[in-house]
Amino acid sequence: MYSQEKIKPYSAQGSKTRQVETMFNSIAHSYDRLNHLMSLGIDKSWRIRTLKALLPYKPQHILDIATGTGDFALMAHRILAPQSIVACDISEGMMAIGRDKVLNAGLQEVITFRKEDCEHLSFPDNSFDTVTVAYGVRNFEHLDAGLQEMRRVLQDGGHLAILELCTPQHFPMRQLFWIYSHLWMPTVGRILSKDNCAYTYLPRTMEAFPQGEIMQDIIKKAGFKEVVFKRFTFGLSTMYLAKK
């Protein structure tokens, strides 16, 4: 068991998956505003760079896991112009907001939403040529199982792109990030989201999540090859790319 798998939003008892679902349903109303506020908008550039890394492969059928309110799926449509994107999540509250965005953009024929458990996806083998996950894998109850499911639904030669928040390793960013994640983030998150636990849980998982070469090896262990990673903005975020 990896360290972040032991961290749950509300209680040490019970399923992490169910608690994460409850948490995101609770904060869905304020998630987008808080997400961009907390990152000062830098997260947008990380998303763009990750999606542009997929451009050479010309993906046509994308599965976006842990899609949340659909921002990454909408950005994938703008940058990659695939035929279809299936955006899935365990939180109906988050996806309800995403569906409204997609409807307003007139993209409901291209981007569809499905409630899915990442460890037990309902899709047949070899269904997609690309799988993406932005800021979601650290919430998996069983990381290995989630990665193996993503590989299962990928076509041979298909690509996986993971974007995840990390903790900087070097002075002074490491110290500044501790202040940000332990003081500012929980306080602002609690005030705006009205959830006393969510923005304490999220930085704890960021600190516990395996990073860099360790995560690279975990992805390889799940059966992927050509696994590479790139850190962004002093190590605040990392992109992982892999091939089935």
pLDDT tens-digit series, residues 27-74: 999 988 887 777 777 889 999 999 999 999 999 999 999 999 999 999
- How many residues are present in the chain? 244
Domains contained in the chain, number: 1
Axis crossing angle, helix 42-52 with helix 71-80, rounded to the nearest 10? 50
Cα torsion angle, 84, 86, 92, 93, sign: negative
Amino acid, single-letter form, for residue 117: D
180-to-38, 131, 209 alpha-carbon distances in Å: 9, 31, 18
Helices (H) and strands (E) in the chain, counts: 9, 7
CA 52 – CA 193 distance, rounded (Å): 32
Domain that holds residue 34: 3-243
128 φ/ψ angles, rounded to the nearest 5 degrees: -135, 150
Residues of the chain with pLDDT under 50: none
Amino acid, single-letter form, for residue 46: W
The domain that holds 75 is classified in CATH as 3.40.50.150
* Predicted local distance difference test score (pLDDT) of residue 147: 98
- Give the pair of three-digit tokens for residue 228: 């590479």
* Predicted local distance difference test score (pLDDT) of residue 47: 95
* Predicted local distance difference test score (pLDDT) of residue 103: 98
